[in-house]
Structure 1
Amino acid sequence: MSPRAGVWVLLVALAIGACTPPSPAPTPAERYARWHRTRAVAADAYLGYLRTHGVADVLPPQQLLRSARRWRGCADEEFAVPPQSQWPTMVPTLRLVRELRGAGLLDRASVGSGYRNPALNRCEGGAPGSKHLSNAALDFDLAPEDGLHQRLCAYWRMHGAARRFGLGFYDSGAIHVDTAGHRTWGYDYTRRSSLCAPPPKPSRLGESKPHRRG
């Protein structure tokens, strides 16, 4: 082959390569399957434990074992198995999630974060006492749905004390669910900023002042 012909062959090969569409990004299920190949023993033991308590089917494994939204930026893994001593704390939380889904409250929600190790929790911006550290909490990303927050709050008020339902709201639209105590909070981690908090009482009898943002 002459040098000129070789150049043409190279140019054609480069053109074909440039026109080849990139491979599609792996789905969460595919990423989980790849991770599971090297973590099968620990993951299957945890799922087996949850199965004995009747809650292994509440969430798909790729959601249940999701570590944190910022796992890439935190140089951690997307999925994680909690320490065995903390397996029991997820059981009542999954029972609550099943009830919430049965009530039509989390049907379209997906898990953004479950168990976090201490280093990942700090990188994610979690509180030092976060219930994610003890495997008692799940954060859900909610699909847009009219009236969903109001219905979640109504459920929390009616059943929260009996379920030890902790319900948090974040600016991103995500929510936090745990069974570590009946409480609620919002963007500043206090009850007053929760969407479930009652409206402020008027400063004077029969008089209401408009809310002002600081």
Structure 2
Amino acid sequence: MQKFTVGAAVAAALSLTLAPATATAPVAQAQPAGGIAQAQLTSATASAATAAVPVRIDGFAQDNGPEITPGQSRADFAAWLARSPANRDALTEFQNHLNANGVGDVVPVWQLVRTSSSFRQCGAAGFEVAPRDKWDNIVKTLQFVKRDVVPAVGPVQPVSGYRNPELNRCSNGAPASAHRHFFALDLVPVSASVSRRDLVRGVCAAHARDGRTYEAGLGFYSGVRFHVDSNGFRRWGPNGRGATSPCVTGA
């Protein structure tokens, strides 16, 4: 397991329990969750007092799996969090929204706010909380990950999520990219024991079984990195076509 040495400010951020924050009402597809902080964002939402909700910034599992992009480690996240109260507040609201929709425990939220592997080349931040109006988009994706992907291949970690318009353009993303609207996650298995063959077999079976229910898109990169979204049922391979999907070719 990779270990990081961080300064006092970073260490404080890693152990921080954040104050309660606002959360919108659960989306229709989500299962209800009890004991979750709710606060008024609009006249249509109600407020309720609960205990503080800690933001999950715990480390990776014992086996970290494939190495992530430099600059997007747990220590880098802690430094980003410590730099701005606005980062902390936005992250807490986001965590509360995920909790309210029953998906707050699918992956640690600090991994969920990673942006793009090319963030440095694009002069962008390695972490960013998506705009609030896009939070419901990722809820459905996380439901598919929780109920189908994780049982198939074990715990996963996000390596890319929301990309703002500038970063999306720099990353050669389509104007209507699923990452641009926070439907999408690029994921890798936490365990290094998961082979590409295991990954393809497990995730393709999950997608064939329940992908239509979640409107899930599924694409594969090289190695064990893969893409999941909830922006339309489809699958694709290296050239973006369904016929080259590893779910079809087995490669």
Q: TM-score, normalised by structure 1?
A: 0.74
| CA deviation string 1:149-178 (max 9, x = no partner) | 022111111111112111011235421101
Distance 1:101 1:172 in 2: 17
Distance 1:79 1:191 in 2: 31
Tell me which amino acid in the other structure corresponds to 1:66: R
| CA deviation string 1:90-140 (max 9, x = no partner) | 111111111135413242x32110000011112223233210111111001
What displacement does 1:76 show? 0.7
Distance 1:104 1:172 in 2: 17
Tell me which amino acid in the other structure corresponds to 1:152: V
Q: TM-score, normalised by structure 2?
A: 0.64
Moved over 4 A (4+): 23-27
Contact 2:199 2:224 in 1 (8 A): no
- Structure with the larger helix share: 1
Is the counterpart of residue 193 in structure 1 residue 240 in structure 2?
Answer: no
Aligned residues: 176
- Select which of 130, 135, 154 maps to 2:182: 135
- Select which of 129, 141, 149 maps to 1:81: 129
Contact 2:113 2:129 in 1 (8 A): yes
> Structure 1 unaligned runs (5+)?
1-22, 200-214
Which entry has the higher C-alpha Rg, 1 or 2?
1
Distance 1:196 1:27 in 2: 30
Secondary structure in 1 matching 2:153: coil
* Percent identity of paired positions between Structure 1 and Structure 2: 34
Is the counterpart of residue 35 in structure 1 residue 86 in structure 2?
Answer: no
Is the counterpart of residue 177 in structure 1 residue 222 in structure 2?
Answer: no
- Superposition RMSD in Å: 2.3
Contact 1:71 1:77 in 2 (8 A): yes
Equivalence map 1:19-98=2 (5 Å):
28-37=73-82, 38=84, 39-98=87-146
